[in-house]
Amino acid sequence: MSVFTCTGGPTGRVPESPGTLRPSTLVIASPDASNPDAGVDLAAAAVQPDAPAAPARKRPRPGERRVQILQTLALMLEQPGAERVTTAALAARLEVSEAALYRHFASKAQMFEGLIEFIEQTLFSLVNRIQADEKDALKQVESTVVTLLGFAQKNPGMTRVLTGDALVNEDERLQARVNQLVERLEASLRQSTRLAVTNGQLPADWDVNAYATTLIAYVIGRWHLFAKSGFKRSPTEGWPQHWRVFAV
């Protein structure tokens, strides 16, 4: 996957590029090259007499259609108040048949798993880089929280996946996977907090577990506010003041 940048600079600074769903950043397994997408009419349009030739539709490269499907799903989830996304609506947006979707994904649940995989790879690439590059443990905590908020702001549709709103009435394993992702993020915050205690930045009797739990609850709350406001209330709104509370 592409390298994502995250800076732990001044308090309240939001990473410039916390990962958005693009063909250059999404990492998914490419299908077998011998199984190209046959769901789209790729033949060149017939040429009428004395009429200019219509441009031929370009055949997607292996794996390209999968990326397009996930991009479109994420965009559909960005619509405020959007109802449950159906494969019929997704196929219509892509101008392909539902059968064409199932040539690339066995089920709609697998499509959502593709989005969750992108979220996991992006966030943990960023968090791991923060912990490796930033020696100040409290700045690790701050940068991690800002990164989680910034990712939501850059990817509104995926915020609905992280909050579980887009997964209502979907396969239960999807919500379980998101829950596991959040638990891993909390563990990363706990690790940085424990280092801050070891370094004397926080008191020796500081409750590391309670602090990490409070931080991740704050992040989830900001995600929810963002989604429930129709993506109008920025997740990073008021962050400098909020961080002063956490850094006391």
Q: Mind listing the pLDDT tens digit for each residue in 227-246?
A: 999 999 999 999 999 999 99
Q: Tell me the percentage of the chain whose pLDDT exceeds 70.
A: 73
Nearest CA to 215 out of 127, 129, 134, 116 is that of 127
Q: Give the predicted TM-score (pTM) of the model.
A: 0.77
Predicted confidence (pLDDT) at residue 179 exceeds the cutoff of 80: yes
- pLDDT tens profile 99-144: 999 999 999 999 999 999 999 999 999 999 999 999 999 999 999 9
**How far, in Å, CA of 245 to CA of 12, rounded?**
13
What are the backbone angles phi and psi of residue 153, rounded to the nearest 5°?
-65, -40
For all residues of the chain together, what is the average pLDDT? 82
Q: Looking at residue 64, what is its pLDDT?
A: 87
pLDDT in tens, 45-56: 333 344 455 555
Distance of alpha carbon 236 from alpha carbon 220, whole angstroms: 12
pLDDT in tens, 10-36: 344 444 445 555 433 443 333 333 333
Which residue would you say has higher pLDDT here, 61 or 159? 159
**Residue 158: is its pLDDT beyond 80?**
yes
Show the tokens assigned to 172. 């239960």
pLDDT value of position 79: 85
What pLDDT sits at residue 63?
78
* DSSP symbols for 57-122: PPPPPTTHHHHHHHHHHHHHHTSTT--PPPHHHHHHHHTS-HHHHTTT-SSHHHHHHHHHHHHHHH
pLDDT for the residue numbered 27: 38
Q: What tokens were used for 227?
A: 């989604």
pLDDT at residue 248 is higher than 80: no
